[in-house]
Amino acid sequence: MGTAPGPEGAGPLQKDSKVAVVKVQAVGAAPRQVTMKGLYFQQSSTSEEITFVFQERENLPVAEDNYVKLQVKACALSQINTKLLAEMKMEKDFFPVGREVAGIVLDVGSKVSFFQPGDEVAGILPLDSEDPGLCEAVRVHEHYLVHKPEKVTWTEAAGTIRDGVRAYTALHYLSHLSPGKSVLIMDGASALGTIAIQLAHHRGAKVISTVCSLEDKQCLERFRPSIARVIDVSNGKAQVAESCLEETGGLGVDIVLDAGVRLYSKDDEPAVKLQLLPHKHDIITLLGVGGHWVTTEENLQLDPPDSHCLFLKGATVAFLNDEVWNLSNVQQGKYLCILKDVMEKLSTGVFRPQLDEPIPLYEAKVTMEVVQKNQGRKKQVVQF
């Protein structure tokens, strides 16, 4: 069998030269697209049950316009409000998971003015983000990010930023907290409750709080400055309204931040809710003249006698919607000021979050299932 002739001026090709040709073709071929894993959730069409899954996704392109490409160093886990997503017509086959992030800027778009590569930042991804925070890298508009102080760790930044925003929204924008006010923080040992107590103390308020267990009570009793009164409701015998009126000399509290309320009689409410939550009538009773009730109960129902009682006290009811800043672009400047202030208070030690031990990305799926069922107490943060 003869050898094939080579190119002009060259000798005949040898058998192993075919291998050389193949290698050159392989090198010249288009490179395989680099991928990374991200966590998503999928909701059943027949029930409200959701499933968390890791999916491969292509590496992010270069940042454009006002967008920043971020290397995620930590991402906190929070419950996903699937009902709100459905109401906002934001349902997808696979929805990204993880929004409270901290990380390093890798690349910036041509119109970005606040950041440059290498900056350490933190923020909350918008509700309609296409990228999961539980991924190695994300794209985010610069208006959702602020600089992270050097003294603040990645896990502290990601684990505090959302509850910091919620506490500010409740105590400043919805109830006008000021020195000397009395504040009732329900479930004070929760992630939100802890930050709300620390913010109220920092503003010179007198704080009363409820707890759901002996462990939570011991936790709050270690707070400095100390809490005026800790009410343990775990045994079902504590009278929240009576305790608050006693503590305030019968005047009632100026601000209430609840963690949910009972709307009906004991016979009509689930047993689990009965153990921890006060009845709406108790909240109205313990409110002082001109008081502010900030509620997390989105389906709050007030009967005419309830409204009349609030009218007589000149009291107000406000709803704490976690996504209120995301749903209004008009308030973007105020939102950024809140994010910056949260980072500053972390840096100066005003905020001391109750965080669980950081977890690796591969445990995020199982941990998120626990968070979604509201079975955890301390804030869970994934560290990359």
Tokens describing residue 130: 């296409």
Res 48: pLDDT = 66
Which range is least confidently modeled, 76-80, 159-163, 274-278?
A: 274-278
Tokens describing residue 38: 């991200």
Q: How confident is the model at residue 118 (pLDDT cuts 50, 70, 90)?
A: very high
Where do the structural domains in the chain lie, given as residue ranges? 35-160+325-383, 179-319
Does domain 35-160+325-383 sit in CATH 3.90.180.10?
yes
DSSP 225: S
Which strand ranges, in their side-by-side order, compose the sheet holding 50-58?
Answer: 50-58, 35-43, 95-96
Rounded CA separation 129/141 (Å):
10
**For the chain, what is the mean pLDDT?**
85
Q: Taking residues 109-117, report their average pLDDT.
A: 92
Res 46: pLDDT = 58
Structure confidence by residue, pLDDT tens digits, 165-183: 999 999 999 999 999 999 9
- Report in angstroms the alpha-carbon separations of 78 from 52, 98, 113, 139: 13, 7, 30, 20
pLDDT at 362 over 50: yes
Q: How confident is the model at residue 263 (pLDDT cuts 50, 70, 90)?
A: confident
Rounded CA separation 119/70 (Å):
10
Q: How confident is the model at residue 264 (pLDDT cuts 50, 70, 90)?
A: confident
Residue 359: partners with Cβ closer than 8 Å, 6 or more residues away: 367, 380, 381, 382, 383
Structure confidence by residue, pLDDT tens digits, 198-208: 999 999 999 99
pLDDT at 97 over 90: yes
Domains 35-160+325-383 and 179-319 fall in the same CATH topology = no
Q: Which fold has domain 179-319?
A: Rossmann fold (3.40.50)
Res 358: pLDDT = 94
Helix axes 332-348, 154-168, angle to 10 degrees: 130
Angle of CA points 119, 125, 151, to nearest 5°: 40
Res 28: pLDDT = 42
